[in-house]
Amino acid sequence: MRFFVLGNDQKPQVREAAARLRPVLEHFGEIVVFDLRQEQDLSRVDADVAIVLGGDGSILRAARQMGYRQVPVIGVNLGTLGFLADLSPDALVDELPGLRAGDYRVAAHLMFECDFPVSGGRQVVLGLNEVVLHALSAGHVTELDLLIDDVPVTSFRGDGLIISTPVGSTAHSLSAGGPILSQELPAFVITPICPHTLTYRPLVDAASKQYTIRVRRPEGAALTADGQFLGQLPGGETVTVRRAGVSFLLVKIAGRTYYQTLRDKLHWGTPPNYRTEPPAG
């Protein structure tokens, strides 16, 4: 097998895990890129699997680094939650023989393109989780218009709006009251952040559509994608979110399901911890 080994060497645990795993991975295949600083251009390099060390943030960075030539990712959790980074370093070592034998499947997940104005034109960035337009500072509100396929949908007043993929539905969108979407569903969810009315609720719609947000307030709004600040948009400008022409590829190990991850990581669907009453008498 040919491996990318990616991560963030600013974290000591990533450097330690990389040093420990490197000879093991070389036993099972060839490491064609070993980059813990997100410096290398991966668009001209082929690999079978990208081993990403860290947490979900490391996986988001790796997805951006791979760009439009995505390689199936195995996330090794060295962070706090690790919703996408599902394996420990020891578990990865245990799974390597099965990986070399092809005993796994690859799930394709929706990615987005965010098209936004910059000085002298427009820029497009690729992302995996979500796009957020929000007020410039805490305690302030923003006003936004939402259009879907150029059809006016609603005008919004509040802290901001999130347009999230299914993978991102368990991140910022979930914290703002959005639904959990099955990760392989071809859909976006639009989630309001602290709307100034009780009538706004999250909306799920098809990934085949194009989503446009127009900034209404003259002072503008801030734009982020996958937690990265993209800039401040003045009033009257628009941001467009659409399905990307490439998918994020995640290796699924046999015997581990998405619903098990929901239960283990988010405690979704777990029953209350009922107290056992002492027997009567």
Distance from chain centroid for Cα 235: 28
Angle at 89 between CA 84 and CA 94, to 5 degrees: 105
Q: Please list, in sequence order, all residues whose beta carbon lies within 8 angstroms of the beta carbon of residue 141, skipping any fewer than 6 positions away.
A: 135, 157, 158, 159, 196, 217
Q: 89-100 vs 12-28: helix axis angle to the nearest 10?
A: 20
Q: Which residues contact 234 (CB under 8 A, 6 or more apart)?
A: 215, 218, 220
Using CA atoms, how far apart are residues 145 and 152, in angstroms rounded to an integer?
A: 8
What is each CA distance from 279 to 256, 272, 273, 274, 276, in whole angstroms?
39, 21, 18, 15, 9
* 56 in active site: yes
The one catalytic residue in 9, 35, 56, 103 is: 56
Could you list the active site residues? 56
